[in-house]
Structure 1
Amino acid sequence: MGTTQRHKGMGLATDNKMLQSAALVTWKDQSKSSIYDMDCDSEDEVDLLLASSRSPIGAATPLHNADTEESPKFKAAIPSWALLNKSSSHETVSTTYLILLTCGTFGLQNVWSLLLANGTPYLLSIGFSRSITALIWVAGPLSGTFVQPFVGAISDQYVSRWGKRKPFIVAGIAGAVLSIMGMAIMRISATRIYIWFARDYVGPHTMANLARVFVILWICILNLSLQPLQVGLRSLIIDACPSHQQSQASAWSGRFTGLGGIATYLLDDFLIRRYQDRTFEVLCIVTSLSLIITNLPCILLIRERRGSLETVPDRQTFWLLRLAKRLIRTTRRMPASIKYICMVQFTSWLGWFPFLYYNTTYISSLDLRQTDSEETPNSSGVQAYLIFAIVSFYCSVVLPWTKPSASRSSNPVYPGSKMDHLGKYINIILPRLWFFSQILFAICMLSTMVISDTLGGTFMVAIVGISWALTQWIPLALMSAEIANLRDAKSCEFSQEEGDGDDETGSLMSLFNVAISAPQILAGILCSGLFWLLGGAGTGDSLGWALRMGGIASIISAFLMVWLKR
């Protein structure tokens, strides 16, 4: 009888093992469908990728095996935030950590707000026409389209004891501060140089033209400097944050972006009343200090991944040709989900360019037509932009809290599954909110056909703040989540000898920025031609038509979202 029970027990144990094996095979089959196109050469590589994510309860994971845990191959693949506790990519970092990681975007937004709210009035004040101004602002999109991809590729392969991204952040800050201060002193220094040295040799008209040339030069240097700063900050957020917290990091980045805009416009409104024609110069000094101070916590306190510091890559890695080939390869291997995000971004930013660069001037033109006064003409435009920034910041704080919690989800959560609560949030809720932002922006831009006073224009700009908050948060959150998942899936492919040579975070974020920058080039050229056709001087009506053109582009973007989803 004891023998019979022993045989029955052995049979039950065998059945349990068979059931566990079948469950594990089923889980692996489901997970394989969610793994990105990794170009794996064998079934073993797929199994290794699956094991590098989160294993089912009770299953052994190679990363927790004593033999593999001591292997340099696996240590080099784990980000620094995971090395602290030797935990998986599902380790959660604190809110304080996220704040320190993303606070640099506050200073970056100060720079953009300086250009958006005061750039066009400043250029008009030194003698540029509005059609020429539109072409000058194309320098930023040109830099983002043709410079940032190479900066991102170099950053992916850069080896330094200071990290992969921080040297680029520091270099970008240095160049930005130099160019901002150059613009600040240009008007004063040009006048002094003319009085002291050139009055007997050239006329004031020639000196004014020379000053304009230097202003264009400083703007170009500023736009070039912002490329390594942008790609460094965005890539560092992805590198130093766990995959499941990318949406939180993007939300904090959006909040600091909103706060940066509010701070700049509040200060701008105060300075206009006190200094009037010296507002731009004072604001440049404050912006430079803010850019330095807000990026210090990120530079000094955030620890970067150290896997690539063990070895020095071949110098051929930095050849321009190899970088170009790398970018082409990254573009070809880009997952369909990332291509979808970039395509929608392209059409969306065709519409955002006219609004961002000309909405303050548009509101000011409405004010001038209404009051027939030229006293502080940019004040009403800056006040409207301040309300826009406040609405945008409020939405950036409130909307991310719509994220569902794991406790409210009735579905089981499988590693790599896109149908868990987080997957539903990223794949369903966020795209729907993004679609809503496109429609809302289009309605606001087309409403300029009936807006005739400052109050109506200010209300329209305030409503656009909702769309701006969603545009700043959702595409970046979707992109960051996709790149982080791709990074985690690929992490076990790379050995210590290879370092992080195949890290494509910077390259993918640069291509994401190309989808933002390239349409602005086209939009800038179209705006310049529109201003030239409608009178050259750039009347309020021509500004209105530029905004309406942006609304049409936003409608196209919304339809593109629906078509691509199908």
Structure 2
Amino acid sequence: MESVSATKLHPPHAEEVPVAPPTNQLSSPLRKIITVATLAVGIQFVWALQLTILTPYVQILGTPHMWVSFIWLCGPISGIIVQPLVGFYSDRCTSRFGPRRPFIIAGTLSVVFASFLIGYAADLGHFLGNSDEANLRPRTIAVFIVGFWIIDFANNLLQGPCRAFIADLAAGDHSKTRTGYAFYTLFTAAGNILGSAAGSSGGIHRVLPFTKTASCDEYCADVKTCFLFAVAIQLVLVTVTVTYVKEKPLRITDSVGNGGKGGIGELFGALRELKRPMWILLLVTCFNWFAWFPFLLYNTDWMGVEVYGAQDKKERVYTMGVHAGALGMMLNSIVAGAASLGIGVLARGLRGEKRLWGVVNFLLAVCLAMTVAVSKMAEHSRRYTVAHDGVREPLPPPAGVKAAALTLYSFLGLPFAITCSIPYTLASIFSSAAGAGQGLSLAILNLAVVIPQMVMSVVSGPFDKLFGGNLPSFVLGAVAAAISGILSLFFLPSPPPDFTKAAATSTPAAFH
């Protein structure tokens, strides 16, 4: 394989993007590509738990709402630091186990360690001197945050090599590349479904009764049980994958861009050389994630506060709202999984992937804006009961309000499926055409994902506190989604012709 620098990741204008030349490596059977794609189940199971139950959990431990988003800074920071380094070194790793598998194993072991820290944070906090009755448990929060940050670093350590592994196995075959990423999206949805289902199932700790302790109440025991399940799923899938799908060790002359500046240096070197198609892809992705991140971060909190009307995070109705939000994310994932099987058909109907991405971004904008309408419906229909101490407590919303909220979650499944598939496929195709390493190329795309997350992590908490509730960030997200749709429809170049043809004629179900 010819040694090239990552600065070659700069495809010319859309109409001039060359089809990747034949490589010396034959593409692998689809069954092996699909096996690697199954790793998305374990990765996304953990993400789903973070998004559905950990944001409410850390507030139950006493963290103020406006500070929660700062805890989530770990995701974008780890994305900026970890993914470029992992991409750079996995493109050059000469381990006898192959270039990607060592990083996947290291990421898995890190997930296991972090899961135990998160699950047992309350017990460890008690051991370190926290009072179980205190409204604020700083030692428990500290252990939780350490685990939370490690698990984000671990997931970033896993995601990049998994996606690059799929592209490696496709070996320049655009049809298999697109199919591999479509299956990755399908298994991402499956992980979301399982994680959201676990998060929405109040009382799941009864499956593992030992998880409930004097320091760990029922909600805490549910969190602990969910993360123990996450460990089991991750270990099984990774063991099967690294055992069944082998990699050829890279020779030093095979690795991409030897003698470069290192992961971060070469990343910025590649950015300086990017041309118009890749820059627009990054821009569309960036606005897309400005839209998504507030909703992904606060959707269950929105259900608990704005839809269910909780005024205190310790109220029973807040927990009910969180579980309802987790159910909504499960419905979202079911729709995303179904949509991933038909991306090719949808793209053909709209005459191209970029048009499909543009249209669903407008759908994303409408759905985010509709959270305001659903919140107002819930507010106008709010009912209360008087507790024994004379304090009014809100009752759960009417069935029609809950159905409207869950419908929004479901409609959002289609744009989420597109977000998880099309940008990565286009980046892989463009980098393959330019002869750049897949690991570093996908790390460049990841910058367009993590920078919006970092910005929103810093501003969304104070912004919501200033204007009240989660809705202001959701409305900003709607505006960003509309901008992303315009950029995709009118400015994003089309992929190479052979990819367009493959996308229009194939779906995961159709390959054999």
For residue 207 of structure 1, report the CA deviation from its aligned partner: 8.8
How far apart, in 2, do the equivalents of 1:307 and 1:436 lie? 42
Amino acid at match of 2:21: S
Q: In 2 relative to 1, CA 211–565 (structure 1 residues): closer, same or farther, beyond 3 Å?
A: closer
Q: Which runs of 5+ in 2 are unaligned?
A: 1-7, 13-17, 207-217, 378-400, 494-512
Q: Does 1:476 align with 2:424?
A: yes
Secondary structure of residue in 2 paired with 1:163: coil
- For residue 140 of structure 1, report the CA deviation from its aligned partner: 0.5
- Whether 1:263 aligns to 2:263 is no
Residues 345-424 of structure 1: matches in 2 within 5 Å? 345-369=285-309, 374-375=316-317, 376-377=319-320, 378-402=322-346
C-alpha distance in 2 between matches for 1:259 and 1:312:
34
User: Does the CA contact (< 8 Å) of 1:350 and 1:550 recur in 2?
Assistant: yes
Displacement after TM superposition at 1:442 (Å)? 0.2
Deviations 1:457-514 (A, max 9, x none): 2111111111111111111221222223333xxxxxxxxxxxxxxx522111111111
Following TM superposition, by how much is the alpha carbon of 1:271 offset from its aligned partner in structure 2, in angstroms?
A: 4.3
Query: In structure 2, what is the equivalent of residue 463 of structure 1?
Result: 411
Structure 2 CA distance for aligned equivalents of residues 397 and 504 of structure 1: 28
Give the aligned partner of residue 287 of structure 1.
Answer: 230
* Structure 1 residues 269-325: Cα deviation after superposition (integer angstroms, max 9, x where no partner): 3344665412111001001111121122321222324442678999x948xx54443
In 2, Cα distance between equivalents of 1:206 and 1:387:
33
Match of 2:485 in 1: 558
CA contact (8 A) 2:463 2:473 kept: yes
Matches within 5 A, 1:315-326: 317=259, 322-326=262-266
Which of residues 525, 544, 547 is equivalent to 2:471?
544
| Aligned 8 A contact 1:160 1:309 in 2 | no
Pick aligned residue for 2:51 from 99, 116, 122: 116
Name the CA distance, whole Å, in 1 between partners of 2:21 and 2:124. Answer: 59
- In structure 2, give the amino acid aligned to 1:544: L
Residues 343-375 of structure 1: CA deviation (Å, up to 9, x unaligned): 111111011001111111112224432999725
Residue 180 of structure 2 aligns with which residue?
249
> Offset at 1:386?
1.5
Q: Deviations over 1:422-442 (max 9, x none)?
A: xxx9x9511111001110000
Whether the 8 Å contact between 1:157 and 1:317 is mirrored in structure 2 is: no
Segment of structure 1 superposing worse, 177-186 or 222-231: 222-231
Partner SS state of residue 212, structure 1:
helix
Q: Deviations over 1:34-63 (max 9, x none)?
A: x98699xxxxxxxxxx99936xxxxxxxxx
The corresponding residue for 1:520 is 453
Q: Is the 8 A contact 1:240 1:305 kept in 2?
A: no
Q: Normalising to structure 1: TM-score of the pair?
A: 0.71
Distance 1:280 1:333, change over 3 A: same
- Residue 534 of structure 1 and its aligned partner are, at CA, apart by 3.1
Q: Return the alpha-carbon distance in structure 1 between the equivalents of residues 117 and 9 of structure 2.
A: 47
Larger Cα-atom Rg = 1
SS in 1 for 2:170: coil
Look up the equivalent residue of 1:124 and give its one-letter code: Q
Unpaired stretches in structure 1, ≥5 consecutive residues: 1-34, 40-49, 55-76, 83-90, 405-424, 488-502, 536-541
Residue 97 of structure 2 aligns with which residue? 162
Classify 1:160/1:432 alpha carbon distance in 2 versus 1 (closer, same or farther; 3 Å). same
Aligned-pair identity in percent equals: 21
After superposition, where does 1:94-113 map in structure 2 within 5 Å? 94-113=29-48
Partners of 1:467 and 1:343 in 2: CA distance:
17
Change (3 A) 1:209 1:526: same
Q: Which residues of 2 match residues 411-450 of structure 1 at below 5 A?
A: 429-450=352-373
Per the TM alignment, residue 121 of structure 1 is displaced from its structure 2 partner at its CA by: 1.1
1:557 partner amino acid? S
Describe the SS at the equivalent of 1:135. helix
Count of equivalent residues: 438
Looking at structure 2, the residues matched to 163 and 285 of structure 1 have their Cα atoms a distance apart, in angstroms, of: 29
Give, in whole Å, the separation in 2 of the partners of 1:311 and 1:149: 19
Are 2:221 and 1:298 equivalent residues in the alignment? Answer: no
CA distance in 2, matches of 1:354, 1:308: 44
In the other structure, the counterpart of 1:78 is 24
- 1:240 alignment partner, SS class: helix
